Amino acid sequence: MKKIVVIGSGFGGLSIASRLSSKGFNTTLIEKQSDLGGRARTFYNNGYKYDAGPTVITAPYLINELFTLHSENLQDYVNLLPVKPWYRFLFENGEYLDYGDKLSTTVREIKSKYGYQNSKSYLKLLKHSKKIFNKAFIELSEEPFESILSMVKHLPDLINIRFDRSVYQTVDKYLGDKNLNKALSMHPLLVGGNPYSTTSIYLLIQYLEWKWGVYYAQGGTGKIVDALEKLLNKKDVEIKKSTEAHKIILKGKKVVGVETSEGIINCDAVVCNSDPTYTYQKLLNIKPKKITNRLNLKHSMSLFVLYFATKKIYTSVKHHTIIFSKRHQELLNDIFNKKVFITDPSLYLHRPSATDKSMIQNNNDTFYVLAPVPNNLSNINWENRGKEFSSIIISILEEKIMPELSSNIVNKFFVTPNYFENDLNTYAGSGFGIQPVFTQSAYFRYGNKCHSSDGLYFVGASTHPGAGVPGVLSTAKVTEKLILKDYGHNK
Ligand SMILES: Cc1cc2nc3c(=O)[nH]c(=O)nc-3n(C[C@H](O)[C@H](O)[C@H](O)COP(=O)(O)OP(=O)(O)OC[C@H]3O[C@@H](n4cnc5c(N)ncnc54)[C@H](O)[C@@H]3O)c2cc1C
C-alpha cells in the first residue's frame, strides 16, 4: 500500500487526507501546531473560544463530499446554520445595505436605497456572474491545468466573459453608485485579491453564494475541523500534531520521506498543504532561479485580527458587517502596492452570536474584527505598532457601530501579519497565499503537482483553483485526480 504524508492540516490538508484515505492510501497527516485547522483553527483565550479565520461557509456540498466518500454524513458531525442577512455593508456616510439571504429582499433593498435602475442592473450583473460561475467554477475549478495548452482551449470563453477586466471595473459597468460598487466588488478581498486588479473571473463568488447560500457552523468553524479530525481518526489516518516538517527528502528526483521535528517519516509521496513559496524555499531548498517565473509572484495582503468579548450584548450588530473606510481605491493601493501603515482601515466584523446563541459565552458577546493590512514585505514593525492599530480599530467600531465599546470589553487579544508568517509559515505573512490575478490563476498558479520531482504534490490556497474555503477544498479534488493518475487506486 502506498504511503503518503500530508504536511499541514488546513482545510486543504484535511480534505486531501480524507480523499486519499478513501482511496486506500496509507495516509499520515503532520501539523506543526498542537491543534488542527491552520487558518481555520480555534483560539481559546481566558475562557472564551474564537474562530481564528473563516466564518463565511459557502458551497457546503464540498465539505459534505469529504464525509460521503467514506459513506458518512456531515450532518451527523456538525450543524450548518443559515446566516441572515449574509452581510451588512456599512458606508462612511452612515448608510447601509443588507445583502442576502433572499434575492427578492436584496433586490428590494437595492431598489429602496439606490433606485429602480440599480436594482435591475444588479440582476444583470448577477446573470453575468452566473455565466462566469458556470465556466470558471463548474468547468474549470477541478481541471488540473498541467500544461499551457490546457489553458489555451478555454481562452475564447474567457475572452467572452471579459477576464481582462477587473472585478471592480465589471461591477462599475453595471451599477451606478460608488457605495454599491464597493459593496458588490468586495468578494476578491475574501480570497486575498484587490478588487481593482483581480480578474473578473472571481466575480463567480457572487453567484456561488446565491447558488448554495451562506452558513455558519454551529459552535464555530472549528466544529468542522473537529468533525474532519474525528472522521480521519475513524478512517485510520495517522495524525501527528506538534510535528513540523523541516525537509522533504529526495533520492534523485524521487520523494522518499520527510524529515520532521519528531524524526524521519519514509513515504512514497508527499502532499504539501504548507504555503508553496515557503515550501520551495525552506523544505526543498530549491534555489530561487529554479523556481522559474515564481520570483515575481504577487502575494496577497495580510490581516490584523482583533478578537474580543464584551459584557454588553450588541443585539443590533449583524453576523457579518463590512465597514468601508472613506478611502477605497487609494486605501487598497496603500495596502497591496505601497505597503504602508494605514490609520483608516476598512473592517470586517464577525458577531457569531447573531446566528448562533451558543457563541454568547460567559454571558458575554464574542467577536472578531479584521482589517486587511500590508503583508510583511512592508517595513511595518507590528511588535511596536500592534497596540496602536488595535486602538484605531476599537475607536472606529465605537464611532460607527458599537457605542461604548472600550468600556465594555472584557477580553481581547490580536494577531498581526507576524502570526501568519511565523506560526503558519506563510511567505511574508500573506493572509491568503498568492493573489488571484489572471497571471497567477489556473496554469499560472502554483501547480498541484511539482513536475521537477516525482511524488510531490500541493494543495491549499496558493494552488489551483485558489483561496477561500470552497477554493481550497477544490484544490484537494484536483490533487487527488493527479495522484490517482500517477498511482491508481490503492483498493
Ligand atoms: C482571518 C481569516 C478569515 C477568513 N475568512 C474566510 C471566510 O469567511 N470564508 C472563506 O471561505 N475563507 C476565508 N478565509 C480564507 C480561508 O481561511 C483560507 O483560504 C483557508 O482556510 C486556507 O487553507 P489552506 O489549507 O490553504 O492552509 P492553512 O489553513 O494555512 O493551513 C496550512 C497548515 O500547514 C501548517 N504548516 C505549515 N508549514 C508546516 C510544516 N513545515 N510542517 C507542518 N505543518 C506546517 C500550518 O501550521 C497550517 O496549519 C479567511 C482567512 C483568514 C486568515
> What cell was used for 266?
519514509
In this prediction, residue 294 has a pLDDT band, given cuts at 50, 70 and 90, of low
In this prediction, residue 270 has a pLDDT band, given cuts at 50, 70 and 90, of very high
pLDDT at 290 over 50: no
- Quote the ligand 1 centre to 224 CA distance (angstroms): 14
pLDDT at 293 over 60: no
Count other Cβ atoms within 10 Å, centred on residue 390. 19
What residue has cell string 504577487?
A: 298
Q: What is the average pLDDT value for the chain, to the nearest integer?
A: 95
- Quote the ligand 1 centre to 468 CA distance (angstroms): 9
Identify which has the larger pLDDT, 374 or 151.
374
Average pLDDT over residues 418-435: 97
| Strand segments (E) across 191-350 | 214-217, 238-240, 245-251, 254-260, 263-266, 269-272, 302-310, 320-323, 347-350
In this prediction, residue 289 has a pLDDT band, given cuts at 50, 70 and 90, of very low
Specify the DSSP element, H or E, that contains 28: strand 26-30
Average pLDDT over residues 44-56: 98
Residue 490 pLDDT: 62
| Rounded-to-integer distance, Cα 397 and Cα 322, Å | 11
The closest of 421, 461, 419, 424 to 31, measured between CA atoms, is 424
pLDDT at 54 over 90: yes
Structural domain spans, the chain:
3-45+59-81+218-293+435-487, 100-213, 298-423
Residue 194 pLDDT: 98
Angle made by CA atoms 389, 392, 396, in degrees to the nearest 5: 145
| Rounded-to-integer distance, Cα 268 and Cα 128, Å | 45
Residue 291 pLDDT: 47
Average pLDDT over residues 403-416: 98
Q: What is the pLDDT of residues 163-207, one digit of tens each?
A: 999 999 999 999 989 999 999 999 999 999 999 999 999 999 999
- Cβ–ligand 1 distance for 11 under 6 Å, the answer yes
Average pLDDT over residues 68-97: 97
What one-letter code names the amino acid at 434?
A: I
- Which CATH homologous superfamily contains domain 3-45+59-81+218-293+435-487? FAD/NAD(P)-binding domain (3.50.50.60)
Average pLDDT over residues 419-433: 97
| Rounded-to-integer distance, Cα 9 and Cα 61, Å | 20
Atom 1 (ligand 1) nearest CA: 53
- Cβ–ligand 1 distance for 389 under 6 Å, the answer no
Q: What is the pLDDT of residues 113-157, one digit of tens each?
A: 999 999 999 999 999 999 999 999 999 999 999 888 888 899 999
Residue 186 pLDDT: 97
**Strand ranges across the sheet with 3-7:** 238-240, 26-30, 3-7, 269-272, 456-458
In this prediction, residue 288 has a pLDDT band, given cuts at 50, 70 and 90, of very low
- Percent of the chain exceeding pLDDT 90 equals 92
> What cell was used for 135?
465556466
| Rounded-to-integer distance, Cα 233 and Cα 334, Å | 45
- Residue 410: Cβ-neighbour burial (10 angstroms; 0-12, 13-18, 19+): middle
Atom 22 (ligand 1) nearest CA: 461
Atom 47 (ligand 1) nearest CA: 424
- Cβ–ligand 1 distance for 25 under 6 Å, the answer no
Specify the DSSP element, H or E, that contains 223: helix 222-234
Average pLDDT over residues 301-329: 98
